[in-house]
A = this chain, B = another copy of it.
Amino acid sequence: MGDIGLPASIPPVVVSSETSPPPPPPAKNKLFLGTFIHSKTLGLLEYLHKTAVAVNSLGTVVAISPDTDLTTAQTVLLPQLGWSPDTTDITTAKPNQFFFPGFIDTHLHASQYPNAGLFGNSTLLDWLNTYTFPLEASLSELSKAKKVYSRVIAKTLSHGTTTAAYYATIDVAATNLLADLCLASGQRALIGRVCMDQLGPSYYLDESPGESITKTKQCIEHVLQQDPKMELITPVITPRFAPACSAPLMTQLGQLAKETNLPIQTHISENKNEIALVGRLFPDAGGSYAEVYDTFGLLTPKTILAHAVHLTDKEADLVRERGSKVSHCPCSNSAIASGAARVRWLLDKGIEVGLGTDVSGGYSVSVLEAARQAVLVSRHVCMDEGRSGEEREKLSVEELVGLCEVDSDEEGEEEGNVDVFGWESWEERVAKWVYNGDDRNTKKVWVRGRLVHERR
């Protein structure tokens, strides 16, 4: 749904398989009644009022029925579906509530969650050494990892994140724990063990390319053991970023991606000092960060590239040719002063762009906050380029909501800091939610028909 965002690697919401649902199996069919708002195409929201959506016990949407209220649903729709009221959970949104597709966070570091908001005045490379590596390394203690990962899953769900592309750490056991916790919580996730055999401190490095590959395979096998069809969790090949990976490691990761057809996630062109470092480490690439990854077969249609703040024209063309996607992380890019990504330019190139919170370079686990900041940063891009008459750089609320891709459903309500006076149009209510909404407005979250979060 929509032409942007959902990486090809993420299992679609409509599951056609009729066998072996993941644990725990949803017990009942579900019927949702009320207003549904979703992104029809980029920049265009569709408002479906007085609508019924029927989801069977396997999580498959089996009917979308317009002009249907509770009575019609009970007397006409349920009989048509052959569903009895006794085996159907019916959720009716209040007049000021609406159902909205769940958010996909296309880039965040589960392991860095305790550092959200902590970065001082640092920028990328010193931030890694000061804040990030010590915390990530400490999660090899599994009790600590369990505490951190449980919280980040609960928090992201409470903000409506139904799918998350997670970086864990280099530790196999802790990464597998993250996978287990996502599965138990019902959150759809990409689970990435971080590969890095250089740049990091001695206490936090894969010892060799071979060890890095072995450990990565162990994590892949664990996920496939737990969720063989990757219905909820999927392994993702995760070279941290080019400066932290030797050429032999990246060669082997590229081969692994080819063999397994698994998704890849990494960072690209986030910070100017980082780009200069890549230029020095990989002189054969002629200063092209994108070409470094491409050389090693890491730019695939299933690759998520976080940031892409300073891509050159030629690099962007290469990314588009390979069909790789970009995760735009405005909170992080502003917070650690990386730059202002030119999202309109990326979209115009034909590159698919999704939103990432990039916790903890980004300070918030909320994709809604990322959407808000993406709107604001797009205005800085517009102003920086001195195009006071050229308004195309600005992203609209509708476009940003469009970037938060369809996944599952959440039920929103105006309250908390979204103050609705009663005279607002639905478009205005959505704008108010984008600018002042928070987790209080997300009442219930479902993934594959399972209620995974409820606000009490």
Contact = CB atoms under 8 A, between A and B. Distances in A.
A436 B383 contact: no
A17 interface: no
A337 B417 contact: no
A126 to B, nearest CB: 11
Contacts of A121: 391, 394, 396
A199 B394 CA distance: 27
A383 B432 contact: no
A340 interface: yes
Q: How many copies does the complex hold?
A: 2
Contact of A436 (B116, B379, B431): B116
Main DSSP-derived SS at the A contact region = helix
Contact of A417 (B383, B391, B436, B439): B439
A380 interface: yes
Contacts of A432: 116-118
Interface in A339-381: 339-340, 363-366, 373, 375-377, 379-380
Interface residues of A, number: 48
A31 to B, nearest CB: 32
B340 A434 contact: no
Contacts of A396: 120-121
B272 A388 contact: yes
A298 interface: no
Nearest to A363: B435
A151 interface: yes
A363 B391 CA distance: 20
A67 to B, nearest CB: 29
A207 interface: no
Given A121-B394, A335-B379, A376-B334, A364 B114 contact: no
Given A118-B431, A120-B397, 8 more contacts: A116-B432, A116-B436, A117-B434, A117-B436, A118-B432, A334-B379, A364-B417, A380-B384
6 contacts: A117-B431, A117-B435, A121-B394, A335-B435, A364-B417, A364-B436
User: Which 5 pairs show the lowest CB-CB distances between chains A and B?
Assistant: A117-B435, A363-B435, A337-B379, A334-B376, A117-B432
